[in-house]
Amino acid sequence: MKKNKKGLGPKKGSKRFSLSKDPFFAGNDSKRRRKVDDDDEGDVEGSESDEEYLGGSDRDEAEEGDEDRDEDVAAKETADEARKRLAVAHLEKLREIAMREKEEDDGEEEEEEEEEEGARDSLVAQILHKKQLEESGRLRRSIASRIREPEASDQFRVLVKHRQSVTAVALSEDDLKGFSASKDGTIMHWDVDSGKGEKYRWPSGEVLRSHGAKDPQGHATKHSKTVLALAVSSDGRYLASGGSDRHVHLWDTRTREHIQAFPGHRAPVSCLVFRQGSSELFSGSYDRTVKIWNAEDRAYINSLFGHQSEILTIDCLRKERILTVGRDRSMQLFKVPEESRLVFRAPASSLECCCFISNDEFLSGSDDGSVELWSVLRKKPVCMVKNAHALLAANKIFEQGESERIPNGHTENGDHASESFDSSSAYSWVSSVALCRGSDLAASGAGNGSVRLWAVGSETKDIQSLYDLPLVGFANSLAFAKSGEFLVAGVGQEPRLGRWGRIPAAQNGVAVHSLTLC
């Protein structure tokens, strides 16, 4: 036989395969292995089974792996289908609501089916867009005008009791769970409806040191258990606490177990806040710094400087903008991505508390009994209400008069005779302010015996007094339900950050007041 050229055919005695019988091209016999019989000049015959080719147990494991992957894919598809079904049901519900509103408003004849569907989709888009604006804080809900005047029988009811003054309260995103802390180091997790609560158990010193905690030093050694601040994440998974031990502690709200201790501050941690919709945590301290942490990664991120004295209160919305007040008589707005800050100075008082109204407007309370409204466009208050929590003289009947506007644009309430009130006392200091998120309803608290509700005007740029809710004790912390249906107050016989006054008749605990909406 003539020698074949390379690539033109098989050599003599070499193995030869038939394309028609190759396993790759075979139809029914694709799962059977073929072998070559050298004695038969390349004839191919099948002899080994699948099990012999795959090797028994290896084949079984491969089949089991394929089945597991198929089950995972099926489960994934089922979850996707469930999400799609829920989304379609939600859209249909919104369409029905939109059509009912349209029928009530218009009362016109029915249009063509395609035009009706287009109108429904347009109304649904408007509803979703409005909801998104409210969630982002760019559209303010009108709740203050819907609040009914409380009756004499409507009072704060004590929901949770503490042994010492409550320093902080916080609500979960769904308004079902609440958290409170006091000067005795107790952290409580309670149900809003029933008031049943459970205590968080502090881990041992060895566990804390394993998490990175350091031994207290200086004044923190004696009062290391005092908790001054709480914050809960938007997903309700994490709870952060801070106090006199100079550490930020992270807890799991589902198991109420201690997760991590963040060292770094050189003085007591006075305030905490989570950025909405994220696990980013901000802490303010007496060491005049703001530190940024990541609760998900258990990591320290950065430190911000600017205050010349102790930081007392901190707040944050969805944007990476942090609002703080300190004893240096200033309120500062930190723009984290831009690495810049704006400084706002109070006219003649020290600011005690603050909160965001929107990304460009803020509310604050000061130690002279005033409540101020600020705008990012001005370095001075846009509107100020003096004597917001005036302490009345004993045995003197106080009658609220009409609000009087004075030339500088500030508003004062009631009788301003020097013998009728005392705004220099610690009992009249505005120790807490809160806003119902995304609305025009605000509240402020002091130690004068009442919590006051306010209406914040979005167009008029002013704040108007609504109602006084009687409450005995220092309102050290306030929190609104997201729906605006109730207000939670952390009450104590003493102020949150000191012992400048004492009200023995007050009951240390968490009080809740229901609000009726029209």
Q: Stretch 114-118: mean pLDDT, rounded?
A: 57
- Asked whether residue 411 carries a pLDDT value surpassing 50, the answer given is no
In the prediction, which pLDDT does 203 show? 85
In the prediction, which pLDDT does 138 show? 60
Distance between CA atoms of 23 and 30, rounded to whole angstroms? 5
Distance between CA atoms of 362 and 67, rounded to whole angstroms? 58
Token output for 373? 């409204």
If residue 95 lies in a helix (H) or strand (E), which one and from where to where?
helix 57-106
In the prediction, which pLDDT does 81 show? 79
CB 195 within 8 Å of CB 488? no
- Asked whether residue 417 carries a pLDDT value surpassing 60, the answer given is no
- Rounded to the nearest integer, the mean pLDDT of the chain is 78
Higher pLDDT, 238 or 95: 238
pLDDT band at 133 (very low <50, low <70, confident <90, very high): low
Q: Which residues of 48-78 are buried (b: 16+ CB within 10 A; e: fewer)?
A: eeeeeeeeeeeeeeeeeeeeeeeeeeeeeee
Percent of the chain scored above 90 by pLDDT? Answer: 47
Higher pLDDT, 24 or 237: 237
- Asked whether residue 55 carries a pLDDT value surpassing 50, the answer given is no
What are the CA-CA distances from residue 31 to residues 25, 50, 116 (Å)? 11, 7, 58
In the prediction, which pLDDT does 12 show? 45
In the prediction, which pLDDT does 216 show? 61
Q: What is the pLDDT of residues 288-303, one digit of tens each?
A: 999 999 999 999 999 9
The three-class DSSP label of residue 166 is strand
CA-based nearest residue to 507, from 205, 5, 193, 160: 160
Residue 37 backbone phi and psi in degrees, to 5: -100, 110
The answer to pTM > 0.75 is: no
pLDDT band at 113 (very low <50, low <70, confident <90, very high): low
The alpha carbon of 96 is separated from its chain's Cα centroid by a whole number of angstroms, namely 31
- Asked whether residue 11 carries a pLDDT value surpassing 70, the answer given is no
Q: Stretch 391-407: mean pLDDT, rounded?
A: 38
Determine the Cα angle at 26 with ends 24 and 28, to 5°: 130
What are the CA-CA distances from residue 506 to residues 158, 164, 449, 490 (Å)? 11, 11, 10, 11
In the prediction, which pLDDT does 391 show? 72
Distance between CA atoms of 80 and 62, rounded to whole angstroms? 27
In the prediction, which pLDDT does 119 show? 60
Q: Stretch 214-218: mean pLDDT, rounded?
A: 63
Q: What is the pLDDT of residues 374-395, one digit of tens each?
A: 999 998 999 999 889 877 543 2
- Asked whether residue 179 carries a pLDDT value surpassing 70, the answer given is yes
